[in-house]
Amino acid sequence: MNLAEKILAAHSGKKIVTPGEFINARVDMVLSNDITAPIAINEFRRLGVSKVFDKNKIVMVADHFVPNKDILSAEQAKQMREFCKEYGVKFYDVGEMGIEHVLLPEQGFVLPGDVVIGADSHTCTYGAVGAFATGMGSTDVAVAMATGDIWMKVPPTIKFVYRGELGKWVGGKDLILYTIGNIGVDGALYAAMEFTGEAIDQLSMDGRFTMANMAIEAGGKAGLFHVDNKTQLYIKSRAKKNYLVYETDSDAEYEKVIEYDVTTIEPQVSMPHSPANAKAVGKVGSVKIDQAVIGSCTNGRIEDLRLAAQIFRRHKVKPGIRCIIIPGTQQVYLDALAEGLIEIFVKAGAAVSTPTCGPCLGGHMGVLAEGERCISTTNRNFVGRMGSAKSEVYLANPAVAAASAVTGKITHPDEVMK
């Protein structure tokens, strides 16, 4: 069996599972946020159960509309707060919270070999630590909170092999945008994406989180990485419980194997209105922007902020351009503060926000007006994703977003760092 099948077999009490097979699997972590948790809470109460299956395996995070932007979002957060207090569930609130998919790995809630479900499509992020993690609907999450079980079909696995050495300014965001550009937004539909190869070995944990995060943008059910020394070092000081590392068998079967030579890959930009509409930044042409956003569950980690700071140490945001920088968690914020990055951003003319999903989903903290263009380190650029249906979103890595904020148009970092 491959990595996904090994984990799912272990969690369903089977020696072997095969793609297409329906299983009941035990979960190690159940996650929801301030958009999806209220629905799950309502469905949970309809079940008529008196307690959750395990209060230590459920986490709720207020991150999409926090600090609350209006009365409705305040009511949603209040409902979560009261539920978590009633059932003893961990709740991350304003001042303690972060963007869920940055926060949970940082706090050691997701570990190698785990099965994790979340009422958020980007739950697949946790595959970076060798977990099988996937998004599900709020009703599925409600049942999982009550029973600790999920019902699902075992996905086929596509193996992606990245060979060669990464070029300057090229990281996890560029690899995943390039991959989605190659296979399309349905190229891995309901498949587990297994990322391997020497270029993957070179990637930091932050880069791996970025790639796993966007597996869903290729239609993937999950995105998984093998556990290596980098993973173990990341997990060692964070793990709150014991964990098991699963390895792919040498004779494991895959639906297909796709190989890439990364040596020729340049920083990527996904043009409106699809993550699959990716091209090298040098081939974008002259595209003026109104706003740059650096952050999100895709690129809101400390390495991402360091990358942006390389640009802003030497350059300021162009007058008339709005640049919004959002650390992924309070800890990332503190780390950036200690390293002097926040001062660099503010002196460069950027606005630094408390952790929030905010602008990514057109929620708040950077909503776009009609006709405006934004370059963003987020994961989706569908029509109306960040505001007006007549706005445009371009996806890129933090260095490209920062360089573009300096020039006022989509720019290769080399152009401003000569």
Q: Which amino acid is present at 118? A: G
Asked if residue 418 has pLDDT above 90, the reply is no
pLDDT per residue as tens digits for the range 291-326: 999 999 999 999 999 999 999 999 999 999 999 999
Q: What is the CATH number of the domain that holds 301?
A: 3.30.499.10
Q: What is the mean pLDDT of residues 357-381?
A: 96
Give the domain-ending residue among 260, 294, 323: 260
β-pairing verdict for 149-153 and 22-26: antiparallel
- DSSP-assigned letter for residue 6: H
> Are 240 and 165 contained in the same domain?
yes
- Both 71 and 191 in one domain: the answer is yes
97 and 124 in a single domain? The answer is: yes
Give dist(CA 190, CA 348) in Å, integer: 43
Confidence band, pLDDT 50/70/90 cuts, at residue 259: very high
- Asked whether residue 240 carries a pLDDT value surpassing 90, the answer given is no
> What digits encode the pLDDT tens for the residues 109-149?
999 999 999 999 999 999 999 999 999 999 999 999 999 99
Same domain for 280 and 255: no
Domain total in the chain: 2
Do 52 and 73 lie in one domain? The reply is yes
Examine the domain organization and report whether 237 and 351 are in the same domain: no
pLDDT at 347 over 90: yes
**Among residues 240, 260, 280, which one ends one of the domains?**
260
Report strand pairing: 278-280 vs 268-270. Answer: antiparallel
With b for 16 or more beta-carbon neighbours within 10 A and e for fewer, the 276-308 pattern comes to bbbbbbeebeebebbbbbbbbbbbbbbbbbbbb
Burial class (CB in 10 A: 0-12, 13-18, 19+), 251: exposed
Of 232, 260, 288, the one marking the end of a domain is: 260
265 inside domain: no
Whether 85 and 200 share a structural domain? yes
* Largest separation between any pair of C-alpha atoms in the chain: 64
Residue 135 and residue 327: Cα distance in Å, rounded?
A: 23
Query: What's the whole-model pTM score?
Result: 0.96
CB 404 within 8 A of CB 301: no
248/288 same-domain check: no
Domain that holds residue 57: 3-260
- pLDDT attached to residue 97: 87
